[in-house]
A and B are shown apart, each in its own frame.
Chain A
Amino acid sequence: MSSTTETIMHMNERAGREKTLFGFWLYIMTDCVLFASLFATYAVLHKSTYGGPDAAELFSPSFVLTETLLLLTSSFICGLAMLAVHQRRKTMAMALFFVTFLLGAAFLGMEFSEFSHLVSEGNSWARSGFLSGFFTLVGTHGLHISVGLLWIAAMLVKLAKRGFTEANVRRLTMLSLFWHFLDVVWIFIFTIVYMMGVM
């Protein structure tokens, strides 16, 4: 095979990867619109407590701050893991993705305990419009986090088995985009639902 053909093949491969990443970016943008509709629902319903408790009574700022710091650190560590991927340092990358996973799991655990605490005190999604909006918005974010955690676990297995193949690097790049995006959505949940709720 002449070197020109090789160059062209290499360029095709690169163009293919760019296309996949752009497609994934488009998915994330549509997810933004999904979250926008849930934020809009929450904004409209947040005062409709139907005689039940409102945000100020239910949420604890320090608890939410801990959740936020866990997720933010997780997003940061995920970025460092991607740097290790670009340097092709396998042990380092796997260790950092594992830390990302642990922090994300701790976040999800806290969210789960918050939800079960609310439900056990009779403040479930059925209590009021405000709580329906709250559970749908924060629950959808939590569902995304769960999917992200499964994805990280799957990628750890793939990395251990195959190492930095073209496909694995592409998947890891998409995974990191997804994980950073979830932290971006959380900024707004933290501000609009929790901080503006308890002020």
Chain B
Amino acid sequence: MASYVVGFVLSLATTLTAYFMVTKHWLSGNGLVLTLLSLAVGQFVVQLLFFLHIGRETRPRWKMLMLVLALVFVLIVVLGSIWIMYNLNYRMSPMEMEKYMQRQDGGI
């Protein structure tokens, strides 16, 4: 019971902090992005511990091992895609891009 209440209160706190950070403009730019992402990761850890009880698993910790493996996949897929696509956009010169778009649909 206590575990769920603690998890719920902490999740509420992180959600509301993120919400007011954005709506009340407490921060902006990269600082805000970084804070929002840390709040999300914080809430993720809170829910793993207090809702999914990942810390209470007895050895051998197969669930934990699979979770870590899944997170490695997640990070590779997400960060890898962003990295590759950012580079693609960056290296595509505007003139080439314009020609490409005209070929596609005659420009906007």
Known A-B contacts A32-B70, A43-B78, A196-B33; the reply to A80 vs B4 at CB < 8 A is: yes
Given contacts A65-B15, A192-B40, A195-B21, 8 further A-B contacts (CB under 8 A): A32-B71, A33-B77, A43-B82, A51-B108, A61-B19, A187-B40, A190-B18, A195-B19
Q: How far is the CA of A40 from the CA of B11 in the complex (A)?
A: 24
Number of chain A interface residues as a range:
35 or more
Q: Which of chain A's residues have a CB closer than 8 A to the CB of B63?
A: 22, 25
Chain A 109-138 interface 0/1 with B at a Cβ cutoff of 8 Å (1 = within): 000000000000000000000000000000
A177 and B22 in contact, given A43-B81, A196-B36 (Cβ under 8 angstroms): no
Contact, CB under 8 Å: B40 / A80 = no
- Chain B interface residues toward A at CB < 8 A: 1, 4, 7-8, 11-12, 15, 18-19, 21-23, 28, 32-33, 36-37, 39-40, 43-44, 47-48, 51-52, 62-63, 66-67, 69-71, 73-74, 77-78, 80-82, 85, 108
Would A75 and B51 count as touching, CB distance under 8 A? yes
Q: Contact check: which of B21, B23, B47, B108 meets A187 at CB < 8 Å?
A: B47
Name the A residues within 8 Å of B52 (CB-CB): 177, 180-181, 184
For A26, the chain B residues whose CB sits under 8 A away are 66
Q: How far is the CA of A181 from the CA of B54 in the complex (A)?
A: 12
Assuming A29-B67, A51-B108, A187-B40, is B12 touching A72 (CB within 8 A)?
yes
**Residue A143 lies at the interface, judged by CB distance under 8 Å to chain B:** no
| B47-A184 in contact (CB<8A) | yes
Q: Does A68 sit within 8 A of B, measured CB to CB?
A: yes
Could you list 16 A-B pairs, sorted by A, with CB under 8 Å? A33-B73, A33-B74, A33-B77, A40-B80, A50-B108, A61-B19, A62-B23, A68-B15, A72-B15, A73-B8, A76-B51, A79-B4, A188-B44, A195-B36, A196-B33, A199-B32
Which residues of the other chain, A, contact B74 by a CB distance below 8 angstroms?
32-33, 36
CB distance from A169 to the nearest CB of B (A): 16
Contact of B18 among A25, A180, A195 (CB under 8 A): A195
CB contact under 8 A between A65 and B44, given known A33-B74, A80-B1: no
Residue of B nearest to A30 (CB): B70
Residues in chain A near residue B62, CB distance under 8 A:
22
Distance, CA A39 to CA B81, complexed state (A): 10
